[in-house]
Structure formats: structure tokens, C-alpha cells
Amino acid sequence: MRILREGEREEGLCPACEAWRPIAYEYRTIHLEESDVDVDGVLVGLCEACGELVSVPPQSAPRLREARGAKEHALEARIPRHLDDLVFVLADELGASPTALRGAIVRYYLNEVRRKPATARRIERLARSELADGPCDTRISVRLDRSLWDDAWAAAERAGLGSHADLVRGALVAAKEDVIDGRANARRRDLERLAAAI
């Protein structure tokens, strides 16, 4: 994909002029009718003759999609307090903020669950482990993309996971095995890079 810059010019078919005209790319505020939202800082191609919007380059699409209200899901789960302590241990080991890392770990393992049936089965097994057991007296909430959640939960159900809390508990135990116990160097490296990026 070519990344355009403000001020670049090319030819485009202007709907108002009904002819090919020079267009110039500029950052503008775009009003989205369907969601009644104004989106600032969108690069668009404007007709140099009449000023009509001619094109929206692909690089602007993610900004507009997010403004349209990209579907998010709030994953709510109750976990044992010692698993929340585990998040702090993992954060210390990886050099990250526990608050940011908690959500990142859950999203990472959800992505693994949706991509790899073996990981889904592992999470299901770990959710029944002794470490995952205990009174669920701590609540966590993780915001994530709706499509990630839908795919991961479908894979989790196929693997036999019965609740959202089981999925989260299994993911946290998996992170402990992969990072603290050193059972999966590749996943540890993934989580190290993730921790460095947040």
C-alpha cells in the first residue's frame, strides 16, 4: 500500500464535476452520517476545481473504522486473588505495568486460542489445575476487539471451556508456565516483546 502525504496530487474522477480533475490530499474533519460523529485528521483527496471529496485513501480507513465504533467486547471475569498476584509477578519478570500487562496477557492467549486448537485444549486443562482453583474474589475486566472475542470463545467452547472465568484463569496459568517456569521460550519471547511495547 502506498502511504500518501498531505499535499500530494494525482488525477481523480470528481463526482460533482463529472470529469477527471486534479485532486490534492489534505487532512480534514469528516462527518460520518450513520454514526453522527466528526472524525478529525482524516487524509482525503479533494478536487482542486470545486473542493468536493473525491477519494479516501486506504491509510485513512482504519481511523474511520475506529470512529464508526469498531465493535469492542468487555470480557469480565472473577478470578482467585492469587492469580491477580501472579499478574504482578509476571509484570515484575517482564518489566511492565501490571495493569497494562493483565489485559495484554489475556488478549495474547485469546489470540493463541483462536489460532491453535492445541492451545485451546491446554487452556482448558490449565483452567482445571490446582493453581487455577480457589475462591474467585477478584474481578478483572479486559477490553478487546469483538471479532477476537467471538473467534476465541468459539474455539474455547470447542475445547470444552465452560465459562469466561475458566478461559481467563487458564490463560493466566499458561502465562505463568511460559514465563516463570520457562516451558515455552517462543511464547516467553512473544510476551517479552508485548511487555516492552505497552
User: pLDDT tens, 179-189?
Assistant: 999 888 999 99
Task: Check whether residue 33 and residue 92 sit in a common domain.
Answer: no
Sign (positive/negative) of CA torsion 161, 162, 168, 169?
Answer: negative
> Beta-carbon neighbour count of residue 129 at 10 Å?
13
At 13, is the pLDDT very low, low, confident or very high (cuts 50, 70, 90)?
very high
Give the residue-averaged pLDDT of 11-17: 92
In terms of DSSP bridges, do strands 9-14 and 53-55 run parallel, antiparallel, or are they unpaired? unpaired
Residue 155: which domain range? 72-197
Task: Check whether residue 55 and residue 136 sit in a common domain.
Answer: no
Q: What percent of the chain has pLDDT over 70?
A: 98
Give the predicted TM-score (pTM) of the model.
0.69
69, pLDDT greater than 80: no
Task: Assess if residue 3 is contained within a domain.
Answer: no
Choosing from 52, 67, 82, the residue where a domain stops is 67
Choosing from 67, 86, 112, the residue where a domain stops is 67
35, pLDDT greater than 80: no
Nearest 5°: the CA angle 108, 171, 150 is 60
Pull the grid cell for residue 84: 491477580
194, pLDDT greater than 60: yes
Strand partners, 69: none
